[in-house]
């Protein structure tokens, strides 16, 4: 991705959060220059990858396969200094984008439609060899449990959520004609280095072409 693209996505994301009255903690407005002045008192942010995360999954086509995220809080199962057992994210997905099919080996999570259009999911059980099972999937939706055929479209209106258990493949996108979604995530600790199993092998962070100065640092760019 070009840095100018990343900057534009962050600015649009900030604008939508303001529109929806979703306030952010102060560190998310730090400039790259301000980060250079921040000492070890901010190590929890650096060590646990809190902050801005704009990804094209290494595929080079953000508007087709991409997602904008902010990790607001997170623990770290690999570092005894950080004892939180939970994480929270807010995400921004536009119509035409796909968050690609994946599961987590360890993380259980709730994904919540926080505002905008309808958020659509497709779910599959995973097989022992990490393939897609053709068995019915048990859906856990705001206290209601029911089953659907593998790969069925599940629509979430604003305010609705799904609980996703380890081993459940899931992909999500915005319903055609409905613009965008703000998406919340409340989960166990998040570890993007070891706990993601994408069905099709892809990357995690974009290769960045530095065509302008960064507006905000991404969560993997702290010094």
| SS3 per-residue string spanning the chain | CEHHHHHHHHHHHHHHHHHCCCCCCHHHHCCHHHHHCCCHHHHHHHHCCCEEEEECCCCCCCCCECEEEEEEECCCCCCCCCCCCEEEEEEEEECCCEEEEEEECCCCEEEEEEEECCEEEEEEEECCCCCECCCCEEEEECCEEEEECCCCEEEECCCCEEEECCCEEEEEEECCCCCEEEEEEEEECCCCCCCEEECCCCCCCCCCECCCCCCCCECCCCC
- The neighbouring-strand residues paired with 68 are 54, 92
Given a cut of 80, is residue 222 above it in pLDDT? Answer: yes
- Mean pLDDT score of the chain: 97
Given a cut of 90, is residue 5 above it in pLDDT? Answer: yes
Q: Residue 205 has what pLDDT?
A: 85
What does the pLDDT look like over 26-70, one tens digit per residue? 999 999 999 999 999 999 999 999 999 999 999 999 999 999 999
- What is the pLDDT averaged over residues 96-100? 98
CA–CA separation, 27 vs 42, rounded Å? 9
Q: Residue 197 has what pLDDT?
A: 96
Q: Residue 203 has what pLDDT?
A: 86
Say yes or no: domain 3-198 is CATH 2.10.109.10: no
CA–CA separation, 34 vs 64, rounded Å? 33
Given a cut of 90, is residue 223 above it in pLDDT? Answer: no
pLDDT band for position 204 (50/70/90)? confident
Give the distance from CA 38 to its chain's centroid. 26
Domain boundaries, the chain: 3-198
What does the pLDDT look like over 100-141, one tens digit per residue? 999 999 999 999 999 999 999 999 999 999 999 999 999 999
Given a cut of 80, is residue 210 above it in pLDDT? Answer: yes
């Amino acid at each position: 991705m070009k840095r100018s693209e990343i900057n534009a996505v962050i600015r649009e994301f900030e604008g939508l959060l303001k529109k929806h009255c979703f306030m952010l903690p102060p560190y998310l407005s730090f400039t790259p220059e301000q980060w250079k002045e921040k000492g070890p008192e901010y190590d929890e942010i650096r060590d646990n990858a809190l902050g801005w995360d704009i990804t094209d999954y290494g595929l080079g086509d953000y508007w087709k396969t991409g997602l904008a995220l902010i990790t607001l809080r997170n623990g770290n199962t690999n570092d005894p200094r950080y004892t939180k057992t939970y994480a929270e994210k807010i995400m921004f997905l536009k119509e035409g984008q796909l968050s690609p099919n994946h599961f987590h080996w360890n993380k259980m999570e709730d994904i919540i439609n926080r505002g905008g259009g309808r958020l659509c999911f497709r779910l599959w059980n995973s097989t022992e060899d990490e393939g897609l099972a053709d068995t019915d999937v048990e859906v856990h939706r705001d206290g209601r449990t029911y089953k659907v055929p593998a790969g069925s479209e599940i629509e979430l209106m604003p305010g609705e959520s799904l609980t996703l258990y380890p081993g459940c493949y899931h992909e999500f996108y915005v319903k055609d004609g409905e613009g965008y979604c703000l998406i919340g995530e409340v989960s166990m600790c998040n570890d993007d280095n070891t706990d993601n199993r994408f069905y099709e092998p892809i990357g995690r962070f974009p290769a960045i072409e530095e065509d302008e100065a960064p507006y905000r640092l991404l969560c993997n760019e702290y010094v």
